[in-house]
Amino acid sequence: YSGPGSQQVANSWDNGNGIWFEMLAQKGYIIACVDGRGTGYKGAKFKKVTYMNLGKYEIEDQIAAAKWFGNQSYIDKSRIGIFGWSFGGYMASLAMTKGADVFKAGIAVAPVTNWRYYDSVYTERFLRTPQENPDGYDKNSPTEYANLLKGKFLLIHGTADDNVHFQNSMEFSEALIQNKKQFEFMAYPDKNHGIYGGQTRPQLYQKMTDFILENL
């Protein structure tokens, strides 16, 4: 995930995606979660280093972690993938572009791809305004690196997302298309940031599972 002040690695089991991760592990995949710079509970300096550069150090740490795993004897480094939702989807999008030489496949669900489209009360706390810090916005946008995509990429978004506007994925898709990149896109009609309702979640997780089995 890697969002500011967050924590995913803890001495407890995750009741959400943890069940899905367990299923993937049973199929032979090694699942790893890394709280890099910018996340919480490791001191103020560790958390605040991303100020004015949201995304820069977070993705560097995800790429570094993937490289470390790739150097272990029990890992096939040609089959490293990444999955993320929301800020995690932002990380997955950056990983598949800036980390294209490391990640073979990635799934980004409801990702931020342009911080100009996100809530100002959140974004400006970490990046200030676009006028004050244009580089902080532009240089940390996956859209700026669409030309670097190499691996298999699945982009997913609900059209009625009430948190990360659907326009994020539309703009990123257009950048990928204009760079002649092949990727998969799944839009969920009238679904919000959680992408649920009826048979939506079973279909979504089957889609992601099939993508992983086919590409990793």
Q: CB of 9 within 8 A of CB of 33?
A: yes
- Tens of pLDDT, residue by residue over 9-48, are 888 777 779 999 999 999 999 999 999 999 998 899 999 9
Residue 115's pLDDT band (boundaries 50, 70, 90)? very high
Q: What are the residue numbers of the active site?
A: 86, 161, 193
Q: Please tell me whether the overall predicted TM-score, pTM, comes out greater than 0.85 for this model.
A: yes
Read off the tokens for 201: 């979640």
Does the pLDDT at position 4 exceed 80?
yes
Which pLDDT score, from 0 to 100, does residue 187 have? 99
Domain range 18-215, CATH class = alpha beta
Helix (H, G, I), strand (E, B) or coil at 191: coil
Q: CB of 81 within 8 A of CB of 106?
A: yes
Q: CB of 193 within 8 A of CB of 177?
A: no
Residue 121's pLDDT band (boundaries 50, 70, 90)? very high
How buried is 71 (Cβ within 10 angstroms: 0-12 exposed, 13-18 middle, 19+ buried)?
Answer: exposed
Q: Where are the domains of the chain?
A: 18-215
Which pLDDT score, from 0 to 100, does residue 123 have? 97
Which pLDDT score, from 0 to 100, does residue 77 have? 97
